[in-house]
Structure 1
């Protein structure tokens, strides 16, 4: 089965890294057939659209996924459309949507949608077009003189990430991470449903919310009582019930058992949120504490400012950096997303 994914162009490396992490987490074998800006084509043997839906529901830096039905040069599209057995695919109301991914295509998208719809109508008498909420969504991609036509399997909900923006939650504090990036960081750890994830600097609980939504049991700590109380309020608001949140210093944190993943966005600079400690010192002391809380096969995903030397911070610990992504926030700050393992 060939699956195409429309990836977000917000970042150059995170979308692909997230897809690969979730596929691995769900135990799905795959082969990358094509990778380009905004488009990823995978060959996934023996899998079904239902199984792929589990993957799609977890992703944040992907827009939609569709099963490829046909692909060819643009000038062969109409003849291929006319030969395709549409009656085997389109059995109820449908819509056709065309997306240009570059400026090379000579097609007018609206005209092409109408022409493709006419071909499908002729092949499937009695089936109606439904542009609002179709049962079958036919996606067509025009890119590099090629055309890909597929049936959409699933679409990532923008509404979820919009509704859970930090300022829309009951408890808000400036500097909170976006839910989209929080979900991606959770996914990069390969956390599975039912496993335990820790955020030792939980802040307003954004990372814990996204981990809880994908089915993880979540543990959060913060040195600030206000954050602990606010995190609990936000978790309850989002329907997350399998959690434990309490006040503790990450440098002294102890748990009854090790966790499967750690995802966190520690505070930067000197402030009340760092207990008056410099970031470098706080990070170094925390890493020494946290290395004993992560299972040997677990992963940690950490957000840090670019000016922090993470190699220096991790010196003397068992943590090893296996993956890094850089996100430019503004002129003076780049956020580095690092995935660590225990070596």
Structure 2
């Protein structure tokens, strides 16, 4: 078993993304989840910071954590370090005291401590929903785990304004990575975005190794996305290539999202961010556009993630999809993104 350190404030969405790289994911406490197995794709999760091999869980006190570690079998050799985390500052735990106490247990067991470059790192997570200002789910817990993998945290280097082509309203790369992971982006998969805009979703899917195919009704967007894909996936804007799998191939086209130039079943997943707008004129145009895009997505792929400023669940069902999950993610006071996971 593993314990996952979740990011953000929406544990259910983070767990949904984590399930793309782990099995049997379940929220344990605010900011924490457990998983039965973890794959190498956990390195590319947006809302999971670390995956640790679970030692066990206890009450969220230093004394309970010490008793848990005292009783644990430790099948490891080499130097160690302890890192205590007060998850979302929810418990008020003295993390330095926790680290000293648990480090003492390990030194009593014959381990040497190396705080700079340890061979093994024990994480002690303390979480309590009663102290979570965001009203997190789950119960108060302490979870101990040996670090297995950490995710690559380079999203700040890839902000939309740093790309050759930028338009206001472009999606943050952290959110885009999570969405393509939920859709199923990975090496060997083909991911389609029929409303690619500036290409943010395609960039993140390509970075994790998927083959990406994008389209847009505006030639300007197709040209701009081509510039961004060439810069990030093929050129000098690519992050550390040693940290990522080989970028997947990519193709672009200009097309109506309701008439894609793709064969039936051509893709593994479709992911797109539908246009936003509440004015009556725009409302009248959006319904046939989104409905048509959903029908086309159903034709070319068995899975879809739709992002919008409202629920399109009825339109998705009419297009033949099952709404497996839906999340409401607040961007700011006037915008809530509705994320539909369709199968």
TM tier, smaller:
0.7 to 0.9
| SS of equivalent to 2:258 | helix
Partners of 1:146 and 1:292 in 2: CA distance: 45
Q: Is 1:304 paired with 2:291?
A: no
Report the secondary structure of 1:60's partner residue.
coil
**Aligned residue in 2 for 1:15:** 14
Q: 2:170 aligns with which of 161, 169, 176?
A: 176
For residues 112-147 of structure 1, the C-alpha deviation after alignment (integer angstroms, 9 at most, x for no partner) is 21232233234336x34123x433111012345753
Pairs aligned (count): 315
Q: How far has the Cα of 1:3 moved from its partner?
A: 0.8
Q: Would the alpha carbon gap of residues 146 and 209 (structure 1) be closer, same or farther in structure 2, given more than 3 Å must change?
A: closer
Shift of 1:21: 4.1
Listed one character per residue, the Cα deviations across residues 147-189 of structure 1 (whole Å, up to 9, x for unaligned) are 322101112222x211112112222211011112112221222
Deviates more, 1:297-306 or 1:99-108: 99-108
- Which secondary structure state, in structure 2, belongs to the residue aligned with residue 267 of structure 1? coil
Match runs of 1:198-277 below 5 Å: 198-239=192-233, 240=247, 242-257=249-264, 258-269=266-277
- CA 1:109–1:245: 2 relative to 1, 3 Å: same
Residue equivalent to 1:195:
189
Residue 153 of structure 1 is aligned with which of 148, 154, 159? Answer: 148
- 2-structure distance, mates of 1:312, 1:336: 13
**1:124 maps to 2:110:** yes
SS in 2 for 1:193: coil
Give the structure-2-normalised TM-score.
0.80
**TM-score under structure 1 length normalisation:** 0.80
Q: d(CA) in 1 for partners of 2:163 and 2:4?
A: 30
Higher mean alpha-carbon deviation, 310-319 vs 10-19, is at 310-319
Distance apart, 1:40 and its partner CA: 1.1
Asked which structure has the greater CA Rg, the reply is 1
Please state how far the C-alpha of 1:333 moved relative to its aligned partner. 2.3
| Structure 1 pair 59–31 and aligned structure 2 pair: CA distance change class (3 A) | closer
Once residues 39 and 252 of structure 2 are traced to their aligned partners in structure 1, the CA distance between those partners, rounded to angstroms, is: 31
- 2:76 corresponds in structure 1 to 89
In the alignment, what sits opposite 2:288? 284
Q: Distance in 2 between matches of 1:65 and 1:317?
A: 37
1:136 and 2:120 matched: yes
Q: Matches of 2:259 and 2:333 in 1, distance apart?
A: 35
31 and 340 in structure 1: CA distance in 2 versus 1, 3 angstrom threshold: closer
**Stretches of structure 2 lacking an aligned partner (at least 5 in a row):** 129-139, 234-246
User: Are the counterparts in 1 of residues 81 and 120 from structure 2 also a CA contact under 8 Å?
Assistant: yes
Preserved CA contact (<8 Å) 1:90 1:124: no
Answer with 161-170 or 76-85: which moved more. Answer: 76-85
CA offsets per residue over residues 69-105 of structure 1, 9 Å max, x none?
244444344355445555x32413x321111248786
Deviation of 1:260 (Å): 1.7
| Bigger Cα displacement from structure 2, 331-340 vs 73-82 | 73-82
Q: Compared with structure 1, are the counterparts of its residues 14 and 82 closer, same or farther at alpha carbon in structure 2 (3 Å cutoff)? A: closer
